[in-house]
Structure 1
Amino acid sequence: MPRFYLDLYNGDGLTVDDDGQVFETRERMRREAIRMLPDIVRDEAIENDHTAITIKVRDEDGRQIFEASIVISSGWCD
């Protein structure tokens, strides 16, 4: 089964996935990357008015093959 590396980009910069994860298919990897986004943004959005999280996925050869992002913006309306 192929190994995929899910690198995380957020307000703190880049967190590189050095270990990777094995998924049966590219579709399962895509679903996992998308599933992770709300959990990550939920924690970070509490502290910031604008939060953008991106997961960029690399294959075993180091090529980026997928990207998913989520953005939350908030602000007072005075």
Structure 2
Amino acid sequence: MPRFFFDIHSGSKFARDAVGSECAGMQGIRHEAMLVLPAIARDEIPKDGDKQAFTVLVRDGESRTVYTATLTFAGLWIGDSPIPKLEEDALS
């Protein structure tokens, strides 16, 4: 089974995968990227901001990028505005 390398870019950080993972075809690569992105985001979402993108670049054994995926975190403070009522709530 071929080995692929999952490099992670998160803001100003770039981590190159030196070990890699064996993946069975395109769906295996995609599945592995889907697992790694949330795991990285869980630990790396900045404590001092509300915007961050996490990108995985998947390389094959010859260092060619074969797949890329991005997960974005965007937080927004709403303030003191009350939550709008739904029409059915207003009728009650």
Q: Does 1:70 align with 2:71?
A: yes
Q: SS at the partner of 1:36? A: helix
The answer as to whether partners of 2:53 and 2:72 remain within 8 angstroms in 1 is yes
When residues 8 and 60 of structure 1 are mapped into structure 2, their CA distance, relative to the original with a 3 A threshold, is same
Partner of 2:32: 32
If asked which structure has higher relative contact order (CA below 8 Å, sep 6+), I would say 1
Structure 2 segments unaligned to the other structure (5+ residues): 80-92
Percent identity between matched residues is 33
Larger radius of gyration: 2
How many correspondences in the alignment?
78
Runs of 4+ in 1 over 4 A off after TM superposition: none
Given the two structures, how large is their TM-score scaled by the length of structure 1?
0.86
Q: Higher strand proportion, which one?
A: 1
Partner of 2:56: 55
- Paired with 1:4 and 1:67, the residues of 2 have a C-alpha distance of 12
Structure 1 segments unaligned to the other structure (5+ residues): none
